Amino acid sequence: QKEVEQNSGPLSVPEGAIASLNCTYSDRVSQSFFWYRQYSGKSPELIMSIYSNGDKEDGRFTAQLNKASQYVSLLIRDSQPSDSATYLCAALGSGTYKYIFGTGTRLKVLA
Amino acid sequence: NAGVTQTPKFQVLKTGQSMTLQCAQDMNHNSMYWYRQDPGMGLRLIYYSASEGTTDKGEVPNGYNVSRLNKREFSLRLESAAPSQTSVYFCASSEKGRGEKLFFGSGTQLSVL
């Protein structure tokens, strides 16, 4: 199993809907998780970080961490066409300074 | 606020040529990273430097060397470029390196013919 895994998509949702992006991880990563957004041709930018079990909300974004099932989710409420991008899940490797990324999920929000 | 600055933005090399990608950050960050991004592969770590004076291999270090010249600068060298090194390269930095946000440069599009 890869350390961090994501479905590559594309995930298509209508404007105004909730987009749900998922990421699973292995035992080889620590309990620090991050969601980055990357627009085509641009560099990644951090949206959310989450370190504790449960939900963390920031505006239209909610990150969810379930340590028992080893998955991290990002929910985007009231999705907008401007949310169309690739979303990268990342985790810190256990006992290291290495940030490990998933392959990313491409999100398309349809107007 | 320059943040993380990478040069060059674009480069075309012939197989066997060498080049150095430059990266500098002005945020006084301790940790710096080099990633490559290929279609469908996400970001893969090439090398990183947890602090000034230290460097460590990432997932895909073969064919690359790095130098942490000082706290600000972290360069990536391709000694003998190969077509498999055609990719987009990103430099990133973080303040402490563990559990903190990565700040990315704008990337270098490298093509090896």
Identify the closest residue of chain B to A33 by CA–CA distance: B99
Query: What is the pLDDT, as a whole number, of residue B49?
Result: 93
> Going by DSSP bridges, is the β-strand pair A11-14/A105-110 parallel, antiparallel, or unpaired?
parallel
Count of CB atoms situated within 10 Å of the CB of A24: 19
Whether the per-residue pLDDT at A92 is higher than 60: the answer is yes
**Pairwise CA distance, residues B8 & A92, whole Å:** 28
Strand locations in chain B (E): 4-7, 10-13, 19-25, 31-38, 42-49, 56-57, 64-68, 74-78, 87-94, 103-104, 108-112
Query: What is the pLDDT, as a whole number, of residue A31?
Result: 80
Chain A touched by B71 (CB under 8 Å):
no
**Pairwise CA distance, residues B62 & B78, whole Å:** 10
CB contact under 8 A, B90 and A98: no
CB contact under 8 A, B106 and A43: yes
Identify the closest residue of chain A to B96 by CA–CA distance: A97
Whether the per-residue pLDDT at A93 is higher than 80: the answer is yes
| pLDDT tens, residue by residue, A23-73 | 999 988 888 899 999 999 999 999 999 998 999 999 999 999 999 999 999
Chain A touched by B109 (CB under 8 Å):
no
Count of CB atoms situated within 10 Å of the CB of A59: 10
Per-residue pLDDT of chain B (113 residues; tens, 9 = 90+): 679 999 999 999 999 999 999 999 999 999 999 999 998 888 999 999 988 889 999 999 999 999 998 999 999 999 999 999 999 999 999 987 566 889 999 999 999 99
| pLDDT tens, residue by residue, A59-68 | 999 999 999 9
Query: What is the pLDDT, as a whole number, of residue B98?
Result: 62
CB contact under 8 A, A103 and B35: no
B3: tokens are 């943040």
Query: What is the pLDDT, as a whole number, of residue A75?
Result: 97
**Pairwise CA distance, residues A79 & A111, whole Å:** 10
Percent of chain B predicted with pLDDT > 90: 82
Q: What is the mean pLDDT of chain A?
A: 93
